[in-house]
């Protein structure tokens, strides 16, 4: 198992005033020992990871189900950092039970949630607060072991305290999509003067983008693929929702709402058909934010149209530390509401992944390790 190191002497179990006890040597996990997809995911007993000097060990309470896990398990893209057996799980939340020798900013017993993409912390981009663009970015559950296990070790710089009143499941549900969406909206410069078109508005990233854009005062036109998803988006307070499955040529419907075109188009999947139609809806000098490519990744682009329309296309991925912290603040004061679709025990993680692969989910599925399998 990757990331397995000899336990640091300070890596001890302790919660609040509870007695400190030695760490167990093994843990329950859902992991893959060969690449090939979800069918390779199975229960395993694996060594509890040791912690490096700058790391903390977290006893996992909850972790989210994400499409990136499916991509990682499939081996679709080269990943030289992946070591088998591999534990997926991007966004664990839980309790700090171990401290590396150099860690001074975390405490045993602290309730925390993990920021999945981890910058190097030393490059020019990281020093400028743009760690989402760090060239050495590594993600929990992708380039290193993830949280679909009883314990996970991560650098302390990527661990944030969970605000009072926020539960573990809620923290995991918000930890990936919302900071990523907020980082994208900040980079694109969305303001109250903007009108956004958001295909996939009922999905994880799309739903987070929709909520955050409305908090920034922007107008949102949500685009979804079913009547049920349309209802879910309307429940977020979105006035204009379009079903692109029922109306594949949806550009005239968008233009009827905003004749000059939308100022921001957020592409969450890069579906080639939706991409082509959505580009017909953008205004001159619009910004196109591409924040996902699982349905593509290759699309057509007429460069003559691009420069004549003066459109900017901006690639967005990952989240900055600043936006992660800002998102937790919004969660604490009730401005954000991450939708939780399904909660399953560790042994039933595959059930949640299969639901994610379909079209029936509305919101985030969560693995709760306190539930009996």
215 is a domain residue: yes
Please, what is the Cα angle at 125 between 158 and 67, to 5 degrees?
A: 50
Residue 20 clears pLDDT 60, i.e. is over it: no
Q: Are 359 and 242 in the same domain?
A: no
Q: Are 34 and 140 in the same domain?
A: yes
108 is a domain residue: yes
35 is a domain residue: yes
Q: Are 161 and 214 in the same domain?
A: no
Mean pLDDT of the chain: 92
pLDDT at residue number 19? 35
Residue 295 clears pLDDT 90, i.e. is over it: no
The answer to whether the beta carbons of residues 230 and 206 sit under 8 Å apart is: no
16 is a domain residue: no
Span 345-359, mean pLDDT? 93
Q: Are 193 and 268 in the same domain?
A: yes
Tell me how many domains the chain contains.
Answer: 2
Task: Give percent of the chain with pLDDT exceeding 70.
Answer: 94
Pick the residue with more confidence: 88 or 18? 88
Instruction: Give the pLDDT band of residue 21 (cuts 50, 70, 90).
Output: low
Q: Are 172 and 249 in the same domain?
A: no
Q: Are 189 and 167 in the same domain?
A: no
Q: Are 149 and 250 in the same domain?
A: no
269 is a domain residue: yes
7 is a domain residue: no
Instruction: Give the pLDDT band of residue 59 (cuts 50, 70, 90).
Output: very high
Give the residue from 285, 315, 345 where a domain finishes: 315
Measured N-to-C along each axis, helices 168-175 and 177-188 cross at an angle, to the nearest 10 degrees, of 40
Instruction: Give the pLDDT band of residue 269 (cuts 50, 70, 90).
Output: confident
Instruction: Give the pLDDT band of residue 42 (cuts 50, 70, 90).
Output: very high
Residue 194: C-alpha distances to residues 133, 265, 306 (Å): 25, 10, 20
The answer to whether the beta carbons of residues 183 and 318 sit under 8 Å apart is: yes
87 is a domain residue: yes
Distance, CA of 109 to CA of 123 (rounded, Å)? 31
Give the residue from 275, 300, 315 where a domain finishes: 315
Q: Are 34 and 112 in the same domain?
A: yes
Instruction: Give the pLDDT band of residue 16 (cuts 50, 70, 90).
Output: very low
Return the biggest CA–CA distance within the chain: 68
Domain enclosing residue 50, as ranges: 26-176+320-368
Question: Does the N-terminal peptide bond of residue 354 adopt cis geometry, omega within 30 degrees of 0?
Answer: no
Q: Is 302 exposed, middle or buried (0-12, 13-18, 19+ CB in 10 A)?
A: exposed
CATH assignment at residue 97: 3.90.180.10
Residue 170 clears pLDDT 90, i.e. is over it: yes
56 is a domain residue: yes
Question: What is the value of pTM for the model shown?
Answer: 0.89
């Amino acid at each position: 198992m990757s990331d397995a190191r000899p336990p640091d002497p300070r890596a001890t179990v302790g919660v609040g005033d509870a007695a400190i006890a030695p760490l167990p040597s093994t843990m329950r996990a859902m992991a893959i020992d060969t690449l090939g997809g979800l069918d390779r995911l199975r229960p395993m007993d694996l060594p509890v990871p040791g912690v490096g000097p700058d790391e903390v060990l977290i006893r996992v309470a909850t972790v989210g189900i994400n499409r990136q896990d499916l991509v990682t398990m499939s081996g679709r893209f080269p990943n030289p950092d992946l070591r088998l057996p591999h534990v997926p799980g991007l966004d664990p939340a839980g309790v700090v039970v171990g401290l590396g020798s150099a860690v001074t900013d975390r405490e045993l017993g602290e309730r925390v949630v993990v920021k999945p993409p981890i910058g190097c912390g030393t490059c020019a981009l990281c020093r400028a607060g743009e760690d989402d663009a760090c060239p050495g970015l590594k993600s929990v559950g992708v380039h290193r072991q993830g949280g679909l296990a009883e314990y996970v070790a991560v650098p302390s710089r990527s661990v944030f305290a969970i605000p009072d009143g926020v539960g573990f499941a809620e923290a995991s549900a918000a930890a990936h999509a919302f900071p990523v969406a907020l980082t994208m909206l900040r980079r694109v410069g969305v303001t109250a003067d903007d009108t956004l078109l958001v295909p996939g508005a009922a999905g994880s990233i799309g739903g987070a983008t929709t909520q955050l854009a409305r908090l920034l005062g922007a107008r949102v036109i949500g685009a979804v693929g079913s009547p049920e998803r349309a209802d879910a988006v309307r429940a977020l307070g979105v006035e204009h929702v379009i079903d692109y499955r029922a109306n594949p040529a949806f550009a005239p419907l968008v233009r009827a709402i905003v004749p000059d075109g939308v100022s921001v188009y957020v592409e969450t999947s890069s579906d080639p058909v939706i991409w082509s139609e959505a580009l017909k809806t953008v205004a001159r000098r619009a910004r196109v934010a591409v924040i996902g490519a699982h349905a593509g990744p290759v699309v057509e682009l007429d460069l003559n149209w691009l420069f004549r329309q003066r459109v900017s296309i901006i690639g967005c991925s990952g989240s900055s530390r600043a936006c992660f912290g800002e998102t937790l603040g919004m969660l604490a004061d009730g401005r954000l509401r991450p939708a939780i679709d399904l909660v399953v025990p560790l042994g039933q993680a595959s059930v949640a992944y299969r639901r994610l692969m379909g079209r029936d989910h509305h919101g985030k599925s969560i693995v709760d390790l306190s539930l009996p399998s």
